[in-house]
Chains A and B, each alone.
Chain A
């Protein structure tokens, strides 16, 4: 029957159970089998149908005890992609900021024209400014930039929504590890 224990140990190793845990379980099983045999109960009688299928027995025990490590791919699939979260947040913030800028009309660009001193010639680009006067012109010169920003951010938000949908659909279904209740 030590062969049964040895097969269990091999199965636990194959499943990735940590060596100390596998050794502990093997020792528990060996001591129980020894106690049974000491009382005249054969290992086959004690284990019943499991005696002929050590791999299933070992896998079931390890699974219920929760000592089989999850495959790394599945773990990564479950984890929320941080880069996507950051991208979505950035796009959302940009949309909000652009919308606020458009709604408030700030910042406005102040254009100030001044009359040039008499000894300096006026630039030819401003011939219409009357000499000796000056005034400020307020214009929301940033608006085109804000509109572009808003559209780009909305596109980014849509793209991130598409990425989220792809990420959700690529996740493999996750089974809960053996949870029967006591009821």
Chain B
């Protein structure tokens, strides 16, 4: 699911690696560290789901910016649709569960 989240945050606006991590953390995905986004970005790039370009940063080395390709946007739409369907199905199953927390 993390690759879907990466596509979603870069769909909001092109971003480089660290920037994507920040956007994910701002939404509560604080466990994204571990450098795990780099292999995922590599795979998205290999599968043609992202487009990349390099641009100079302020006073630093050039950065690699990512944005979803047209295939990436299709994959994002399909992924979100599948995720929502799965979430609704799971919600329907769990809705009948009565949670009692012993104090």
Residue of B nearest to A50 (CB): B35
Residues in A with CB closer than 8 Å to B13 are none
Residue contact B21 to A31, C-beta cutoff 8 Å:
no
B-facing mask of A27-48, CB < 8 A → 1, else 0? 1111111111010000001111
Residue B57 lies at the interface, judged by CB distance under 8 Å to chain A:
yes
Q: Which of A46, A65, A183 contacts B82 (CB 8 A)?
A: A183
Residues 104 to 142 of chain A near chain B (Cβ within 8 Å): none
Interface of chain B: mostly helix, strand, loop or mixed:
helix
Give the interface of B toward A (CB within 8 A): 3-4, 7, 16-19, 21, 33-36, 38-40, 42-43, 45-46, 57, 60-64, 75-76, 78-79, 82
Inter-chain contact A46/B21, CB cutoff 8 Å? yes
B62 & A47 in contact (Cβ 8 Å cutoff): no
8 A-B Cβ contacts within 8 A? Answer: A27-B62, A31-B61, A63-B39, A64-B42, A67-B42, A182-B76, A182-B78, A183-B79
A79 at the interface (CB under 8 A from B): no
Report the separation of the CA atoms of residues A167 and B97 in the bound assembly, to the nearest whole angstrom: 57
- Chain A residues whose C-beta falls within 8 Å of the C-beta of B21 in the assembled complex: 46
Q: A35-B63, A64-B42 are in contact. List 16 more A-B contacts (CB 8 A).
A: A31-B16, A33-B18, A34-B61, A35-B57, A45-B33, A48-B34, A50-B34, A51-B35, A57-B35, A57-B38, A64-B40, A65-B45, A65-B46, A66-B46, A178-B39, A178-B43
**Once the chains are docked, how many angstroms separate the CA of A33 from the CA of B79?**
30
CA distance A35 to B43 in the complex (A): 23
